[in-house]
Amino acid sequence: MSSSDPTVQPVPASVVEQVDAADVTLSNPKRAVISLGSNLGNRLETLQGAIDALEDTPGLRVKAVSPVYETDPWGVEPGTQATYFNAVVLIKTTLPPSSLLERGHAIEEAFERVRDQRWGPRTIDVDIVAYQDVVSDDPQLTLPHPRAHERAFVLVPWNDVDPQAEVPGRGSVAGLLAAVGQEGVRVRADLELRLPE
């Protein structure tokens, strides 16, 4: 139908909101786990901004947000970078993994994430840790995240929001966490990330 068809009326915003609210029940959403990290600028504000941006994504609902953890930078000399704030977010989404990855990159760009060195400091890191039970070695998006099972800064907050969680092909989050330990991952009970309204 062309837009000049007089029978086509714009959809009222209230209807769009109802459809958006119902999309969790309507369209067979998939569970996914997103890891967030920041060690530049206002780290807490940036994490919250990323969570809000995820919630603002059509076809995506944020279902749980972990406590904030402060962690030492990975893969660099001690003292050469600021500590990270890390969190894990559980979402339900109708987006395929590739679209979710694009959205994550768009959020990183919005917060001026710079990728000039591996394990360099960053305003925000948005990583898809797991998507349903998908196991894929696609170089664009390896699922589950190839190093999530050995990183306490992912496993600790993930275990907080979903103690029964499994890393596809690797085992339970709780079991993996027991093997890795929690050294260098400190809960920041004085800080809180909000679940979007």
Q: Would you say the pTM of this structure is higher than 0.85?
A: no
Question: What letter would DSSP give residue 76?
Answer: S
pLDDT average, residue stretch 121-125: 79
pLDDT at residue 26 is higher than 50: no
pLDDT score for 7: 55
Q: DSSP letter string over 120-169?
A: ---S-EEEEEEETT--B--TTS-BS-TTGGG-HHHHHHHHHH-TT-EETT
For residue 3, name the pLDDT band (cuts at 50, 70, 90): very low
Q: Which of 43, 61, 103, 113 is catalytic?
A: 113
Q: Is 118 considered catalytic here?
A: no
Q: What is the pLDDT of residue 30?
A: 94
Answer yes or no: is pLDDT of 20 > 80: no
Predicted pLDDT at 194: 93
Helix (H) or strand (E) holding 64: strand 60-65
**Pick the catalytic residue: 43, 61, 103, 127?**
127
Is 113 in the active site? Answer: yes
Q: At what angle do helices 173-180 and 152-161 cross, to 10 degrees?
A: 140
Q: Which of 23, 122, 151, 162 is catalytic?
A: 122
Confirm if 34 and 88 have CB atoms less than 8 A apart: yes
Q: Active-site residue among 43, 103, 125, 162?
A: 125
Q: What is the DSSP letter of 99?
A: H
Q: Is the pLDDT of residue 100 over 50?
A: yes
Q: What is the pLDDT of residues 137-191, one digit of tens each?
A: 988 899 999 999 999 999 999 999 999 999 999 999 999 999 999 988 999 999 9
The verdict on whether 122 is a catalytic residue reads yes
pLDDT digits over 42-95, tens only? 999 999 999 999 999 999 999 999 999 999 887 777 677 889 999 999 999 999
Cβ proximity of 195 and 89 under 8 Å = no
Q: Could you tell me which residue, 11 or 110, shows the higher pLDDT?
A: 110
pLDDT given for residue 81 in this prediction: 80
Q: Is 127 a catalytic residue?
A: yes
More confident residue, 122 or 193: 193
Q: Quick one: pLDDT at residue 15? A: 55
